[in-house]
């Protein structure tokens, strides 16, 4: 095992970066918030509309970035699943064959095929005492749980956290969708680090005391008026990530976010004395994350273009 000695912010494809630069058993905690297969296109606009510096390149943030969360089955998808079926562990091969039989060659299978090799790599980089939280919504959580069982083993499933946020649209045709699922798995049975967060008790009997947080978390989303809002369309609240980071990684440990977006996981780790690794292939998102971290550290945080490492934060 090789330790990750300093925090890293990396611009590049997370699969290639994990394989090339992140050592075996070097990470205490992974938080993965991948695309949701929502079928939507998103616009990134820094709410400050300022000019930021990204590794000697100026990006005017009102000239926004964007990303797509739309998946289609194509020749690359077919090549990817053929490669996975040849090289993956037996349990993953069985799961992928079952998905292929159940779903057919469609966009959803392309999405699952994208996730599978990344989850395999995240299993590799976790320490024996590590764990992973996978953030997903109701469209994909059942399928992702099967994939997680195939990679991590069903015995390592710990909880499904239900993040209840309240905001969002409604419909005349079905119950309003007001929560996300966060699947939590350990790397090794019964060895994961856990110091549960505590919240104010609400019962009269425990008035004025705290209790362990349950598996449903009532944490507001980042609304348009929130001070922490940075203009990233799928930005998660800092309170959500701080609960995960504090509860499931030791001080001084390493927290990895392979789809780091606007950098909320990295901010939560930095503010709570953890090292961090953030990876994203969108330069505008990484620019926002870099600026947030600069403001916390009061010194430059460099990003590494196309995963060319290393000028590290100390």
Contact 313, 297 (CB under 8 A): yes
* Per-residue pLDDT at 33: 95
153 C-beta neighbours (distance < 10 Å), count:
16
Distance CA 125, CA 104 (A): 31
Residue 314 CA to chain centroid, in angstroms? Answer: 24
pLDDT at position 55 over 50: no
Q: What does the pLDDT look like over 242-298, one tens digit per residue?
A: 999 999 999 999 999 999 999 999 999 999 999 999 999 888 888 889 889 988 886
* Per-residue pLDDT at 231: 81
* Per-residue pLDDT at 170: 76
**What backbone phi and psi angles, to 5 degrees, belong to 20?**
-90, -30
CA angle (69, 277, 153) in 5-degree steps: 70
Mean pLDDT for the chain overall: 85
Residue in the structure block whose two tokens are 């079928």: 39
CA angle (13, 19, 23) in 5-degree steps: 125
Q: Which pLDDT band holds residue 174 (cuts at 50, 70, 90)? A: confident
186 C-beta neighbours (distance < 10 Å), count:
23
* Per-residue pLDDT at 296: 86
Contacts of 56 (CB under 8 A, 6+ apart): none
Q: Which pLDDT band holds residue 311 (cuts at 50, 70, 90)? A: very low
Question: What are the extents of the domains in the chain?
Answer: 8-68+126-305
Q: Encoding tokens for residue 187?
A: 């790397």
- 87-101, 210-224, 225-239 — most confident range: 87-101
**What backbone phi and psi angles, to 5 degrees, belong to 225?**
-100, 0
Distance CA 261, CA 127 (A): 24
Question: Which range, of 32-46, 177-191, 294-308, averages the lowest pLDDT?
Answer: 294-308
* Per-residue pLDDT at 59: 34
Contact 65, 44 (CB under 8 A): yes
Could you write out the DSSP letters of every residue in 53-88? EETTEEEETTS-EEEEE-----HHHHHHHHHHHHHS
Q: 75: number of CA atoms within 13 Å, CB side?
A: 0
Q: Tell me what the mean pLDDT of segment 134-138 comes to.
A: 93
Residue 266: strand, helix, or coil: helix
What share of the chain in percent tops pLDDT 90?
61
pLDDT at position 58 over 50: no
Q: What does the pLDDT look like over 192-216, one tens digit per residue?
A: 999 999 999 888 888 889 999 999 9
Residue in the structure block whose two tokens are 């959803």: 108
Distance CA 36, CA 174 (A): 20
Q: Does the domain formed by 8-68+126-305 have CATH 3.30.300.30?
A: no
Q: What does the pLDDT look like over 108-124, one tens digit per residue?
A: 999 999 999 999 999 99
């Amino acid at each position: 095992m090789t330790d990750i000695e300093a925090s890293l912010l990396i611009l590049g494809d997370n699969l290639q970066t994990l394989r090339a630069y992140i050592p075996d058993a070097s990470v205490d905690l992974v938080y993965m918030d991948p695309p949701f297969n929502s079928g939507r296109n998103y616009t990134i606009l820094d709410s400050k509309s300022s000019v930021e510096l990204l590794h000697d390149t100026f990006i005017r943030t009102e000239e926004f970035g964007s990303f797509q969360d739309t998946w289609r089955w194509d020749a690359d998808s077919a090549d990817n699943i053929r490669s996975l079926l040849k090289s993956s562990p037996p349990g993953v091969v069985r799961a992928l064959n079952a998905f292929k039989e159940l779903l057919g060659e469609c966009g959803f299978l392309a999405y699952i095929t994208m996730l599978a090799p990344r989850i395999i790599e995240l299993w590799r980089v976790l320490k024996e005492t590590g764990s992973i939280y996978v953030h997903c919504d109701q469209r994909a959580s059942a399928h992702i749980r099967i994939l997680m069982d195939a990679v991590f083993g069903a015995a390592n499933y710990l909880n499904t956290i239900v993040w209840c946020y309240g905001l969002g649209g409604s419909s005349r045709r079905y119950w309003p969708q007001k929560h996300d699922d966060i699947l939590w798995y350990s790397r090794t049975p019964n060895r994961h680090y856990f110091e549960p967060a505590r919240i104010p008790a609400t019962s009269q009997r425990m008035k004025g005391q705290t209790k362990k947080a349950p598996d449903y978390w009532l944490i507001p989303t980042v609304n348009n008026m929130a001070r922490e809002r940075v203009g990233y369309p799928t930005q998660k609240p800092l309170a959500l990530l701080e609960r995960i980071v504090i509860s499931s990684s030791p001080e001084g440990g390493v927290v990895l976010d392979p789809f780091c977006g606007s950098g909320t996981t990295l901010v939560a780790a930095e503010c709570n004395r953890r090292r961090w690794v953030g990876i994203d292939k969108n330069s505008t998102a990484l620019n926002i994350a870099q600026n947030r971290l600069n403001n916390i550290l009061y010194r430059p945080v460099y990003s590494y273009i196309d995963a060319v490492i290393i000028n590290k934060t100390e």
